[in-house]
Copies of this chain bind each other. A is one copy, B any other.
Amino acid sequence: MPSPISFLSDFGHDDEFVGVVHGVIARIAPDVKVIDITHGIRRGDIHGGALALTRAVQFMPDGVFLAVVDPGVGTERRAIAARSPVGFFVGPDNGVLAPAVAMVGGADLIVSLEDERFRLPTPGATFHGRDVFGPAAAVLASNQADITDLGPALPPDSIQPLLVPLAEPAGNGGIKATALWVDTFGNIQFNIAAEDLERLELSTGDDVLMSHNVIEHRVRWGVSYGSVEEGEAVFHVDSHGQIALAVRGESAAETFDMGAGDSVVIGRPDGGNTIEIRAVG
- A-side residues, CB < 8 A to B, are 4, 6, 8, 11-20, 22-24, 26-27, 30, 33, 35-40, 43-44, 52-53, 55-56, 59-61, 71-76, 122-127, 130-131, 183-185, 187, 194, 223-227, 236-241, 246, 249
Complex CA distance for A38 and B185, rounded to whole angstroms: 17
A14-B184, A16-B38 given; A126·B26 CB < 8 A: no
Q: Does A226 contact B14, Cβ atoms closer than 8 Å?
A: no
Complex CA distance for A243 and B64, rounded to whole angstroms: 34
Q: Does B38 contact A126, Cβ atoms closer than 8 Å?
A: no
A184 to chain B, nearest CB (A): 4
What residues on B are CB-neighbors of A183 within 8 Å? 14-15, 17
Q: Does A23 contact B59, Cβ atoms closer than 8 Å?
A: yes
- From B16, B39, B43, B237, A185 is in contact (CB under 8 Å) with B43
Contacts A19-B36, A73-B225, A123-B241 supplied; 18 other A-B pairs, CB < 8 Å = A6-B23, A12-B184, A13-B40, A16-B37, A19-B35, A20-B56, A23-B35, A24-B59, A26-B35, A27-B59, A27-B60, A27-B61, A43-B185, A74-B227, A124-B239, A126-B187, A126-B224, A126-B238
A90 to chain B, nearest CB (A): 16
Q: Does B19 contact A225, Cβ atoms closer than 8 Å?
A: no
Q: Count this chain's copies in the assembly.
A: 3
Complex CA distance for A6 and B30, rounded to whole angstroms: 13
Q: Does A19 contact B6, Cβ atoms closer than 8 Å?
A: yes
What residues on B are CB-neighbors of A72 within 8 Å? 225-226
- From B15, B17, B39, B74, A223 is in contact (CB under 8 Å) with B74
A171 to chain B, nearest CB (A): 29
Q: Does B6 contact A56, Cβ atoms closer than 8 Å?
A: no
Chain B residue at minimum C-beta to C-beta distance from A186: B43
Complex CA distance for A225 and B237, rounded to whole angstroms: 42
What residues on B are CB-neighbors of A20 within 8 Å? 37, 55-56, 59-60
Q: Does B55 contact A38, Cβ atoms closer than 8 Å?
A: no
Q: Does A124 contact B236, Cβ atoms closer than 8 Å?
A: yes
Complex CA distance for A60 and B130, rounded to whole angstroms: 11
Complex CA distance for A6 and B26, rounded to whole angstroms: 11
A81 to chain B, nearest CB (A): 20
